[in-house]
Structure formats: structure tokens, C-alpha cells
């Protein structure tokens, strides 16, 4: 167990941030999965801007890496364009 007041606070803050990041990471993965499971092009096109916005926000706050966000956006765009 930590002895210093500041390290005890840091442990609390780290746990809070970990749970926050975990929640938003999971939410992002679920929404990407939902878009990939969609076979309707109009529905996927409607979902894409919201997911793009979410990916950009998570990359900005360092929940995910900016290159990962770019790769996901690119792959989703390709997927949407391939839909009939």
C-alpha cells in the first residue's frame, strides 16, 4: 500500500481513468462491430459519421492511438463502399 498522500490520490485517479477509458474503448469497439455487421448501405452510411466522430474524440484524448483511429475509419469507409 502507498504511504504518501499524493500516491494514494494518484492510485485513485488512475483507477477512475482506467474505468473511463475501458468504457469508451468498449463502446467504440461495439459500434464498429455493429457497423461491420450491417448489410444495408444506407443504414451503414448513416452510422458512419457518428462512429468517425467517436474515433476522432478517442484519438484526441489518447484512449486510442491516432493511427488506429485513421485505420479504422479507412477500413469502415472501404466496407461501406463495397456494400451493394
Contact 80, 38 (CB under 8 A): no
Three-state SS for 2? coil
This prediction's pTM: 0.86
| Residue 35 lies in domain | 5-82
Long-range contacts of 60-67 (CB under 8 A, 24+ apart): 63/21, 63/24, 63/25, 63/28, 64/25, 64/28
Q: Which CATH number covers residue 60? A: 1.20.58.110
12-62 pLDDT tens trace: 999 999 999 999 999 999 999 999 999 999 999 999 999 999 999 999 999
The total domain count for the chain is 1
Amino acid at each position: 500500500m502507498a504511504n504518501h498522500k499524493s500516491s494514494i490520490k494518484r492510485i485513485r485517479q488512475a483507477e477512475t481513468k482506467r474505468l473511463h477509458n475501458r468504457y469508451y474503448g468498449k463502446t467504440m469497439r461495439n459500434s464498429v462491430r455493429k457497423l461491420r455487421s450491417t448489410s444495408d448501405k444506407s443504414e451503414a452510411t448513416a452510422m458512419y459519421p457518428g462512429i468517425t466522430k467517436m474515433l476522432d474524440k478517442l484519438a484526441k484524448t489518447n484512449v486510442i492511438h491516432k493511427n488506429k483511429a485513421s485505420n479504422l475509419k479507412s477500413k469502415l469507409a472501404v466496407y461501406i463502399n463495397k456494400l451493394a
